[in-house]
Structure 1
Amino acid sequence: MSKSGHVNEPKKFTPKDPPKLNPPKEDPITMEELAKCDGTHSSHLTYVAIMGTVFDVSGNTAYSPNNPYHVFAGKDASRALAQSSLKPADCRPDWEDLPEKEKGVLKDWFTFFSKRYNIVGKVQK
Structure 2
Amino acid sequence: MAGKFEPKVPVKLNPPKDDPISKEFLSQCTGVDGALCYVAIKGKVFDVTGNKAYQPGGSYHVFAGHDASRALAKTSTKAEDVSPEWADLPDNEKKVLDDWFTYFSKRYNIVGVVEGAANL
TM-score (norm 1): 0.90
Unaligned 5+ runs, structure 2: none
Per the alignment, residue 4 of structure 1 pairs with none
Moved over 3 A (4+): none
1:89 alignment partner AA: E
Match of 2:18 in 1: 26
Aligned pairs for 1:80-99 within 5 A: 80-99=71-90
1:112 paired residue number: 103
Aligned length: 116
Work out the percentage of aligned pairs sharing the same amino acid. 62
| Cα distance in 2 for residues equivalent to 1:52 and 1:85 | 18
Q: Deviations over 1:3-30 (max 9, x none)?
A: xxxxx41x33001112100000001001
Report the counterpart of residue 93 of structure 2 in structure 1.
102
Partner SS, residue 39 of structure 2: strand
For the residue of structure 2 that corresponds to 1:68, the secondary structure is coil
Correspondence for 2:37:
46
* Residue in 1 that maps onto 2:112: 121
Shift of 1:61: 0.4
Separation in 2, partners of 1:124, 1:89: 22
Q: Which amino acid aligns with 1:107?
A: D
The answer on 1:15 being equivalent to 2:20 is no
Q: CA deviation at 1:81?
A: 0.1
Per the alignment, in what secondary structure is the counterpart of residue 33 of structure 1?
helix
Alpha-carbon separation, structure 2, partners of 1:71 and 1:65: 9
Report the structure number with the largest CA radius of gyration: 1
Alignment partners' CA distance in 2, 1:68 and 1:53: 21
TM-score w.r.t. the length of structure 2 is 0.93
Corresponding position of 2:27: 35
Give the match for residue 62 of structure 1: 53
